[in-house]
Amino acid sequence: MKNLSIRVIIGILFSAIGLVSLFFTRDALMAAIWLSFGNGLILSDLRFTGVDERGNEYVKPIPRVRTYAAILLIVFAVLLLIFQIFLDLQQPGAAAAL
């Protein structure tokens, strides 16, 4: 439990919300937004420990590829959210709500 930071816990929460929303609403776009953002948060900050040759535990650094993948997932979530807003504004009656 030492390697779970607040960002990882929030990422797990967002991913769980995305999965539950997919099962209940069957809205794949909204579930993809939640899951993408949650998984990006998890990838960006989840740290693992290792043991060196002396038997001491240390925290392994986060690989660059995982950091880039996390940034890509978060950007993808923002783009999907913008697309969702665009689709919502295209529906009839959406202009009357504004």
> Would you give the distance in Å from CA 27 to the centre of its chain?
17
The model's pLDDT over 5-29, given as tens digits with 9 standing for 90+, comes to: 888 888 889 889 888 988 898 888 8
Report whether pLDDT(97) > 70: no
| Mean pLDDT calculated for residue range 26-36 | 86
Torsion-angle region of residue 91: left (phi > 0), alpha (psi -120 to 50) or beta? beta
Q: What is the pLDDT of residue 78?
A: 92
pLDDT confidence of residue 94:
58
Which long-range contacts does 1-7 make (Cβ < 8 Å, 24+ apart)?
Answer: 2/49, 3/46, 3/47, 3/48, 3/49, 3/59, 4/46, 5/45, 5/47, 7/41, 7/42, 7/44, 7/45
pLDDT band at 58 (very low <50, low <70, confident <90, very high): confident
pTM of the model: 0.76
Judged by average pLDDT, the poorest of 42-51, 73-82, 88-97 is 88-97
